[in-house]
Amino acid sequence: MTAPTVPALARPGFDAELAEALLTIPVVHPGAQRHASIAPFDGQPLVELPYSTVDDVDMAFDTATQAQARWAQTEVAERRRIMLRFHDLLLAHQDECLDLIQWETGKTRMDAMKELLGVCTIARHYARAARRMLEPERPLGIVPLLTKVTIERHPVGVVANIAPWNYPLFLAAADAIPALMAGNAVVLKPDHQTSLTALYAVDLLHRAGIPRRVLQVVLGFGPELGPELVERADYVMFTGSSAVGSRIAARCGERLIGCSMELGGKNPMIVLDDADPAAAAEVAVRACFDNAGQLCVAMERLYVMADIHDAFMERFLSRIRNLRMSAEVGWAADYGSLIGAEQLGRTAAAVEDAVSKGAEVLVGGRSLPDIGPFYYAPTLLTGVTEGMQVHGSETFGPVVAVQLVDSEDEALALANDSPFGLNASVLTRDERRGQRLARRLRTGSVNVNEAYEATFGSTRAPMGGMGRSGLGRRNGAHGLTRFTEEQTIAVQRGIGFGTPFGMEHDAWSELLVKGFRALRRSGLA
């Protein structure tokens, strides 16, 4: 294969030989059309990617389907050993992986490290929990002792995982891991901008012991390959926009196959009047500006109670102004780049629209070409009203609207006034007060005194959205069992349910009623 095209630029940490090796993984035909991905740090081509065709997608699914049956027969204990090896490989090669993530996404090394550790957490969790989640269940049958019921779980077959660019390592691996642990094959389509990072995860999974035929990769643009993936899959996992997710869900419904989706969010943070201003400001900076706001669980709406407003805002603005920025691989930066020109344009347009309609910029509100071609300053707006793009639509960038509120109930009403329901945050010194308010928020997850890590990183608990924010849940038992089909097997012993020979129907009915009353009194069923 031809070596990736790399401009004659000094690119510390980018390994062209590694990139070339990774490009042997995807299913592409000889002479495939190539498209360059762009490095956010310098805006120049990073690598030329060979793109898969519709025929390549068919080949990937045919290969995965043939391999899946044998993989499903692999003992769960062996799958566990493979996932733990993958965990260890990822930690052993963390520097190589972090370099790749930074070059492809432009994010800070700390954001990249959170992504890597998140994958390790998922791998460790399902390696240890899969046996329990997949073992047969034996619920009580309709007639205790006489009806023996077993619930078996079978893999669905081949799972299509359509992953986005913002967390290319995590979102490629975190959904593939439970699908594989459940005995499925996976066809992964990463975003074209961050394909190398996804391929790196696949390479480590192969090296850990996942058969290459069981985990296939196709590369290309979503609008071209996405429909083909949905048509061939037995189950679809999609992370992306609500608009695209709706179309995929509709087609999955037509095909009567399962799907789960993490979609958009317009996440609220409520700063209660008893919060510690300094601690709240520290959480808020991460909540709003981690990964330059390109995070589905990031906060884009802040509701701050009047009694704490000034003290909080003073510290919050100070922290924003002191964020360190640098377009380079390494630990020097607190704040990274947007992914590319399109994302920069969308962010700038949203701010310009708000300002033209009366919003005020408290900090930021401009691009930062002196730092990097796609950097946009972390931006805080006030005076945002209905009719502005940033009011109800997800910006998916470093733009946050702050609003003073007079009461907890007002904050709650504003927070819930959204078709989205992915994540929320409540900041308070009173844990019980925070939990009470959290229960009233219509979001799939709520972090009290944190941004998103507390819920997202707790892999034993489900994570997902309500409303326009998605279907199904990652993590927890459902994160794995969604990739299975349940089968109920019931064995009837002794007497059955038909009227016994020689007995009249009314007499048999009366006997059944007596039996039901006895079961009611016993509490057994």
Q: Which residues are catalytic?
A: 262, 296
SS3 142: coil
- Amino acid, res. 189: K
CB-based contact 229:216 (threshold 8 Å): no
CB-based contact 445:459 (threshold 8 Å): no
What is the spatial distance between Cα 175 and Cα 188, in angstroms, rounded to a whole number?
A: 10
In the chain, the N- to C-terminal Cα span, in Å, equals 65
Question: What residues contact residue 325 under an 8 Å CB cut-off, 6+ apart?
Answer: 333, 334, 335, 336, 368, 371, 372, 375
Burial pattern 247-259, b for ≥16 Cβ within 10 A else e, equals ebbebbeeeebbb
Tokens of 158: 């081949």
Q: Nearest-5° angle of CA 455, CA 461, CA 465?
A: 65
Distances (CA, A) of 449 to 269, 311, 509: 10, 17, 59
What is the spatial distance between Cα 80 and Cα 86, in angstroms, rounded to a whole number?
A: 10
| Residue 71, phi then psi, degrees to nearest 5 | -60, -35
CB-based contact 25:199 (threshold 8 Å): yes
What is the spatial distance between Cα 229 and Cα 24, in angstroms, rounded to a whole number?
A: 21
CB-based contact 57:225 (threshold 8 Å): yes
Question: What residues contact residue 462 under an 8 Å CB cut-off, 6+ apart?
Answer: 444, 473, 474, 475, 476, 478, 479
What is the spatial distance between Cα 436 and Cα 449, in angstroms, rounded to a whole number?
A: 13
Which of 411, 321, 408, 432 is closest to 368 using CA atoms? Answer: 321
- Burial (CB < 10 A; 0-12, 13-18, 19+), residue 455, is buried
- Distance of alpha carbon 410 from its chain centroid, rounded? 30
Longest dimension (CA), the chain: 94
Distances (CA, A) of 398 to 154, 169, 371, 414: 43, 21, 16, 21
The residue behind tokens 């359509």 is 162
What is the spatial distance between Cα 286 and Cα 94, in angstroms, rounded to a whole number?
A: 23
What is the spatial distance between Cα 219 and Cα 4, in angstroms, rounded to a whole number?
A: 15
What is the spatial distance between Cα 283 and Cα 450, in angstroms, rounded to a whole number?
A: 6
What is the spatial distance between Cα 191 and Cα 76, in angstroms, rounded to a whole number?
A: 30
The residue behind tokens 């090896």 is 85
